[in-house]
Amino acid sequence: MTLNTTQPDEYEQQLEQKSSQLRELFQHFSPPDLEIYDSPREHYRMRAEFKIWQQGDSASYAMFAPGEYKKPYLIDDFPVAAERINKLMPTLLAEINRSELLRQRLFSAEFLTTLKGEALITLIYHKPLGDDWKTEAEQVKIKLGIDIIGRSRKQKLVLGQDFVTETLKVDGETFNYQQVEASFTQPNAKVCEKMLNWAVDCTKGSTGDLLELYCGNGNFTIPLSRHFKQVLATEISKTSVNSAQYNFKLNNVENAQIARMASEEFSQAMDKVRSFRRLQDIDLDSYEFSTVLVDPPRAGVDEHTINIIKRFDNIIYISCNPQTLLRDLAAISDTHEIERFALFDQFPYTHHVEAGMLLRKKQTQM
């Protein structure tokens, strides 16, 4: 069956509802007109994960409703996911069902793709994987034209590469991003492009240096580096730090450095509360920061970091949770005012909203 997760005919109405709710949530702050960035109606997710439901000698893709983990919905395709994923789903499943070795104790399948059609599939098992598994999986890799990773407890077998390279167009330039399996990347590539273009437009004409907190694989860092003398970025995930450094080289970014540390730690370093060996090769005093970009997790920004970013003339805040953005804005609004306000529909047909704000320091605070 097809899991009916999209309603293209209702998309405009749903997007308007989200927009109205976001405007209402922030109306106390009298923000400017909301800029709305929509999503493709179908095939917008570049990654997808499916459980594998075993019945007798046959495996199927399955999804579950929250709290109903014994009642599978068996599916053949998934309109939310990229067309490349939908084309691979039946051919991969046929190969799995053709081989008892590949099917047996297979628990889930994860797809990671790009706008250009690169594909990486991770097969996760409840059994050890040996050379015989590698031999059969290699044949599937060649037949489907993909890379494959086999995972089980304390095992990761990579057939090919463990990443794909996404290509995004921002402000007339093309940027390439290594996206590593099992690490965080934006799932909706087309909306990600719009978000990056918005952020770049916010920084045109900037002076000074940029601080970026929660930089991930360099998603924002790379295009924004074109508008600043220097960029200092922070990220706690080791995998993401390695990808960011790789992506700096891939895109010829020479004016950016990255420190592997949490925003709370960096705030302590900025206030000289603590010194960190991870910053021993970075001269914080050499930066003339004018702008900070924060893209925090759903929990938002911690109190100390809020006090740090309030010192900046310009704050770009990307939020995956408007409720914590609202909380943080209450603390920031005494020194800054909202100049731009945006909605990015990363997750159509759900209640989730991604928001962006450009905040400028009030003249009385200058």
Instruction: Tell me the CATH number at 14.
Output: 3.40.50.150
Q: Please enumerate in sequence order all residues whose Cβ is within 8 A of that of 91, keeping only pairs 6 or more positions apart, or say none.
A: 144
Q: Is residue 173 part of a domain?
A: no
Q: Is residue 101 part of a domain?
A: yes
- Comparing CA positions, the residue from 136, 144, 73, 139 lying closest to residue 111 is 144
With beta carbons less than 8 A apart as the criterion, state whether 243 and 276 touch: no
**Is 354 in the same domain as 256?**
yes
Picking from 96, 129, 163, the residue at the C-terminal end of a domain is 163
Q: Residue 5: what pLDDT?
A: 67
Rounded to 10 deg, the angle between the 11-25 and 322-332 helix axes is 30
Residue with tokens 């003249």: 363
Q: Is residue 150 part of a domain?
A: yes
Catalytic residue among 254, 288, 320, 337: 320
Q: Residue 280: what pLDDT?
A: 85
**Distance between CA atoms of residues 78 and 44, nearest Å:** 11
Residue with tokens 């590539």: 189
Picking from 114, 146, 163, the residue at the C-terminal end of a domain is 163
- Comparing CA positions, the residue from 182, 188, 207 lying closest to residue 42 is 188
Structure-block tokens of residue 359: 């905040």
**Is 207 in the same domain as 96?**
no
**Is 147 in the same domain as 223?**
no
**Distance between CA atoms of residues 247 and 223, nearest Å:** 11
Picking from 102, 130, 163, the residue at the C-terminal end of a domain is 163
**Is 131 in the same domain as 202?**
no
**Is 216 in the same domain as 88?**
no
354 a catalytic residue = yes
For residue 93, give its domain range: 47-163
Q: Residue 41: what pLDDT?
A: 96
**CATH number of the domain to which 62 belongs:** 2.40.50.1070
Domains of the chain: total: 2
Structure-block tokens of residue 211: 């601080």
| DSSP for residue 81 | B
Catalytic residue among 166, 181, 193, 354: 354
**Is 197 in the same domain as 335?**
yes
pLDDT along the chain (366 residues), means of 10: 71 97 97 98 97 95 84 92 98 98 97 98 98 98 98 97 98 98 95 98 95 97 97 96 98 96 90 85 92 96 95 97 97 97 96 96 80
Other residues' Cβ atoms within 10 Å of the Cβ of residue 347: 19
Q: Is residue 178 part of a domain?
A: no
10 a catalytic residue = no
**Is 248 in the same domain as 358?**
yes
Q: Residue 366: what pLDDT?
A: 60
